Structure 1
Amino acid sequence: MTTLRTALDASSPPYQDNRAAMLARVDDLADEQAKALAGGGEKYVERHHRRGKLLARERIELLIDQDSAFLELSTLAGWGTDFPVGANLVTGIGVIEGTECMIVANDPTSRGGASNPSSLKKSARAAQIAAENHLPTVNLVESGGADLPTQKEIFIPGGGGFRNLTRASAGRRPTISLVFGNSTAGGAYIPGMSDYTVMVRGGAKVFLAGPPLVKMATGEESDDETLGGAEMHARTSGLADYLAEDEHDAIRLGRSIVRRLGHRKQGLTPPSTYADPLYDAEELLGLVPTDPKAPFDPREVIGRIVDGSDFDEFKPLYGSSLVTGWAQLHGNPIGILANAQGVLFSEEAQKAAQFIQLANQIDTPLLFLHNTTGYMVGAEYEQRGIIKHGAQMINAVSNSTVPHLSVVIGSSYGAGNYGMSGRAYDPRFMFSWVNARSAVMGAAQLAGVISIVSRASAEKKGVPFDEAADEQMRELVEAQIDAESTAYAISGMLYDDGVIDPRDTRTVLGICLSVINNLPIRGAEGYGVFRL
């Protein structure tokens, strides 16, 4: 039998403690995400509405198919920086006229929708996802352009956004711009380089230079409509392909354009019916111990996200701190690698390398569930070849060509993050649970290493070691690393695609697997040299 059995006791005190702690984190996540959803704040939202304009997420809601899901990405971009949470931009995947599309919407209530360094990273990540998964892109444009105080950080790399638009068109991934307001200076090239452009009469303003700059540069007196109004572009310049009467009309036109694209999926069509997991996703809240060092069985997670809780485990008796096996998720076949006891030994690394090769042999996507402290260290393990075996796993991950999905459900430290297809290894999508932590190592371990090195240095120099200063240093370093390794901090730097409630894991992964199937899945036909 391959149906997973659960050993979870939802009535036990440890479970209840874990659940309470996770719920507190979920509530806190809602508070942090609310900062992005609030845009520029009540004052600017009200002013925007008074002008008869829709908010970015209101536009998206009208654009996508009724009652369909919108998978918002990088919601916490910019968290922990001086820039607004959300980076003045909304990105995500939605279904328009039955077609999955990447949607990128400026939030004009937050600093006029200006682009800052976090906005740049967020839009670049959206473009990467669209390219890798062959998605049309719909831009909902209303932005004042670049955040001028940070121009030195965005001017040069910002040109990549226009390059991405032209490459998308060349790759037969249509791009559509619905222009609701300002699209100025470099931003004018967004509608200029899109395949289809819709402009709202009396609202859209698209020009390389506004009236004040034109006056300064040439002495010419002009106005917004003459320079770059929607009607001028529809009648005179030809930049506007469609002239919308208002925002609702622009959205209607956008949906009509997508409907006529004839976009078809080229990958697997999963069965329309499949079994739900046998176990309640609500129970995911109580699985993770409050102590991050305490292990938990990832099979309990797997049993609550895969179809029918059916999991065909591979090598169950070998390398037991890494669980590997086959399952289906929303009807899609998938291979799963999940950390069990945190540490990766030689056996786990070799097992993973073989399993990844097998998945590539049968063109099956891989799901990595992270909860690892990294590869085992120590004289015994070095002598047994942990470096070679870890390199085999990383080789397999690096050269695997089937799509990877990564979810950090606990910790993801050191080279274990690499071996489990962390951000540097370009998984198609990567998410973090609210309790997740990622860093080069745990905060206490990192502070301890610095302390040991400092102590050895003092002994070598023959000077007394300052114990009080060392204790203070350790406290400061631990606090710093703790703050830098949280799910919010990682997501704020765009090192994942979003922080999620554990209960949403199956739904999020189901959407991602559907998106992946816009292209055929092809496994690797060769690998680099494995050091044996």
Structure 2
Amino acid sequence: MTRLRTTVDPHAPEHTRARTAALERLDALDAEHAKALQGGGEKYTARHRKRGKLLARERVELLLDPDTPFLELSPLAGWGSDYPVGASMVTGIGTVEGVECLVTANDPTVRGGASNPWTLKKALRANEIARQNRLPVISLVESGGADLPSQKEIFIPGGAIFRDLTRLSAEGIPTVAVVFGNSTAGGAYIPGMSDHTVMIKDRSKVFLGGPPLVKMATGEESDDESLGGADMHARTSGLADHYALDEYDAIRQARRIVARLNHRKPHQDPPRAQEPLHDPEELLGIVPPDLKTPFDPREVIARIVDASDFDEFKPLYGTSLVTGWATLHGYPVGILANAQGVLFSAESQKAAQFIQLANQRDIPLLFLHNTTGYMVGKEYEQGGIVKHGSMMINAVSNSRVPHLSVLIGASYGAGHYGMCGRAYEPRFLFAWPSAKSAVMGPQQLAGVLSIVSRQSAAAKGLPYDEEQDAGMRAFVEAQIESESLPMFLSGRLYDDGVIDPRDTRTVLGLCLSAVHNAPVEGARGGFGVFRM
């Protein structure tokens, strides 16, 4: 077996410094995650409980099989915006009656569970994950519909949520809605378009327009119960397939629905795999605080793959990109990991060939990002870096095996694209707190703007203001630095979450299990034209 050795000394000063910096970042991350857990805050949580209702995460916990994990997705959605962290919705993957499901739950403590623009983006991302991986969808609904002050950002694109539900159903992917409270206006279509709907006595309210709107539109006097209560929908309209007596009964019935879905995974779960030989705790000290300092990605690979066993591909060629084969929680994976940051022509060609091989073998790909992008300069342009970088991006774009991406360090420029960034539709993309991603590094970007400004002033024959230039550079560097940090990017759903490095193996194992709910088949040709 080709087991990776390690040179990491957990007692070395540089490891200690990196670990300390990582723990500080994790403390900051925990503080932001805590905001999502608080929902609408103590006042609205107390009001919700006084009504005898469970909180969103309590509903999710009761729905899932006991002692099974829940991979929460996009918990920082909306971070840095005018809306609460978490976007008034919980989404994630968990196991219900032995079936891996995509679960969404409105948080009614945040403006009654109303959807803001980030809620919409989060819900659409959840539907995309369900479709790509053929995961049954369970919607735990309690929402007053769109947050009306932001309707201009929600109404037009928001119809995609209902479109997705019908398309999931058409593709044979089950959808279940459990209505815990309001599901009004456009939200009424979630139970209306789900395959199975559970409503709760005296709690569920499903109607296109509530009594005030009906009064304004038609002059008709009505009440919530006769207009859209669970009893009416169970006995009269037929919208309710199952009638529950309380929230616990509704969750029990939802679990029974899943148990009867006859939803089978096309791939058998692999046997229990051997743990890595090296301590995952050491992952905290591997990535230096300054991403300009190189580190060996094999040290990361050695702490996430089974038995630290890794068969490297082309180890002596294109050495700033590590490629090779391993298993992770028993699932085969091909790994591409940036070593020294810059991608040259050799690395690009190596990656393209490796991606083609993975597609021939139907093996998912894992991308571990730490790249400043493709190399620039006259020598490299003349050597064909554009066509070779394009070859790598072509291969990534047209690969059909599932892709997983983890940003562990830098992910700048077109290197982000070549390593399967968000625009290239990885099944899942996560970031470590140490990661940074932007069009280029802050200093480089500020320097480019400075050079352009100097050239413009010279062309006009004007003197150049050095003091103003220094201020501009400082301002731009600070802006780009703040916009390249993982919490900022995660808040905009450019990843599926910022994770503790020590949890990487577990998170990737859950993702690999999820992707194997769908066929894992690579492209056989069809890569487009490779410029040679």
TM range, normalised to the smaller chain?
A: over 0.9
Mapped to 1, the partners of 2:368 and 2:271 lie a distance apart of: 26
Partner of 2:339: 340
> What is the letter of the counterpart of residue 507 of structure 1?
T
* 2:24 counterpart of 1:24: yes
Alignment of 1:361-400 (within 5 A): 361-400=360-399
Partner of 1:447: 446
CA deviation vs aligned residue, 1:204-238 (integer Å, no higher than 9, x gap) = 11001111111111111111101101111111111
Structure 1 residue 27: Cα displacement: 1.1
Partner of 2:196: 196
Structure 1 residue 292: Cα displacement: 1.4
Partner of 2:52: 52
Partner of 1:174: 174
Mapped to 2, the partners of 1:274 and 1:504 lie a distance apart of: 16
Partner of 1:62: 62
> What is the letter of the counterpart of residue 331 of structure 2?
N
Structure 1 residue 280: Cα displacement: 0.8
Alignment of 1:254-403 (within 5 A): 254-267=254-267, 269-403=268-402
> What is the letter of the counterpart of residue 392 of structure 2?
M
- SS of aligned partner of 1:500: coil
Partner of 1:515: 514
CA deviation vs aligned residue, 1:425-475 (integer Å, no higher than 9, x gap) = 000000000111110000111010000000000000000001111111111
- SS of aligned partner of 1:120: helix
Mapped to 1, the partners of 2:501 and 2:95 lie a distance apart of: 23
Partner of 2:80: 80
Partner of 1:137: 137
Partner of 1:245: 245
> What is the letter of the counterpart of residue 122 of structure 2?
K
CA deviation vs aligned residue, 1:17-54 (integer Å, no higher than 9, x gap) = 11011011111111001111100001111111111100
> What is the letter of the counterpart of residue 324 of structure 1?
T
Partner of 1:114: 114
TM-score for the superposition, normalised by structure 1: 0.99
Mapped to 2, the partners of 1:15 and 1:193 lie a distance apart of: 53
**Contact persistence 2:202–2:229 (CA under 8 A):** yes
> What is the letter of the counterpart of residue 164 of structure 1?
D
Partner of 1:232: 232
**Contact persistence 2:289–2:434 (CA under 8 A):** no
**Contact persistence 2:442–2:480 (CA under 8 A):** yes
Mapped to 2, the partners of 1:271 and 1:169 lie a distance apart of: 28
Structure 1 residue 372: Cα displacement: 0.3
CA deviation vs aligned residue, 1:387-436 (integer Å, no higher than 9, x gap) = 01000100100000000000000010000000000000000000000111
Structure 1: where are the runs of 5+ without partners? none
- SS of aligned partner of 2:462: coil
Partner of 1:124: 124
- SS of aligned partner of 1:459: helix
- SS of aligned partner of 1:263: coil
Partner of 1:465: 464
**Contact persistence 2:63–2:252 (CA under 8 A):** yes
- SS of aligned partner of 1:499: coil
Structure 1 residue 270: Cα displacement: 4.2
Partner of 1:165: 165
- SS of aligned partner of 1:58: helix
Alignment RMSD (CA, Å): 0.6
Give the % identical residues: 71
Partner of 2:404: 405
> What is the letter of the counterpart of residue 186 of structure 2?
G
Mapped to 2, the partners of 1:272 and 1:290 lie a distance apart of: 37
Mapped to 1, the partners of 2:59 and 2:53 lie a distance apart of: 9
Mapped to 2, the partners of 1:290 and 1:523 lie a distance apart of: 37
Mapped to 2, the partners of 1:394 and 1:216 lie a distance apart of: 56
Mapped to 1, the partners of 2:12 and 2:158 lie a distance apart of: 53
- SS of aligned partner of 1:87: coil
Mapped to 1, the partners of 2:109 and 2:4 lie a distance apart of: 49
Mapped to 2, the partners of 1:435 and 1:414 lie a distance apart of: 17
CA deviation vs aligned residue, 1:90-131 (integer Å, no higher than 9, x gap) = 000010000000001000001111111111110000000000
Using the TM superposition, name which of 516-525 and 455-464 deviates more. Answer: 516-525
**Contact persistence 2:345–2:385 (CA under 8 A):** yes
> What is the letter of the counterpart of residue 316 of structure 1?
P
TM-score for the superposition, normalised by structure 2: 0.99
**Contact persistence 2:365–2:403 (CA under 8 A):** yes
Partner of 2:100: 100
Mapped to 2, the partners of 1:231 and 1:275 lie a distance apart of: 53
CA deviation vs aligned residue, 1:322-343 (integer Å, no higher than 9, x gap) = 0000000000000000000000
> What is the letter of the counterpart of residue 384 of structure 2?
G
Structure 1 residue 354: Cα displacement: 0.5
Mapped to 2, the partners of 1:139 and 1:355 lie a distance apart of: 39
Structure 1 residue 271: Cα displacement: 2.9
> What is the letter of the counterpart of residue 43 of structure 2?
K
Mapped to 1, the partners of 2:517 and 2:289 lie a distance apart of: 39
Mapped to 2, the partners of 1:45 and 1:11 lie a distance apart of: 45
Mapped to 2, the partners of 1:119 and 1:133 lie a distance apart of: 21
Partner of 2:424: 425
Using the TM superposition, name which of 64-73 and 210-219 deviates more. Answer: 210-219
**Contact persistence 2:90–2:106 (CA under 8 A):** yes
- SS of aligned partner of 1:95: strand
> What is the letter of the counterpart of residue 247 of structure 2?
E
- SS of aligned partner of 2:293: coil
How many pairs does the alignment contain? 531
Partner of 2:528: 528
Mapped to 1, the partners of 2:73 and 2:488 lie a distance apart of: 15
Partner of 1:150: 150
Mapped to 1, the partners of 2:365 and 2:154 lie a distance apart of: 35
Structure 1 residue 519: Cα displacement: 1.5
Structure 1 residue 273: Cα displacement: 2.3
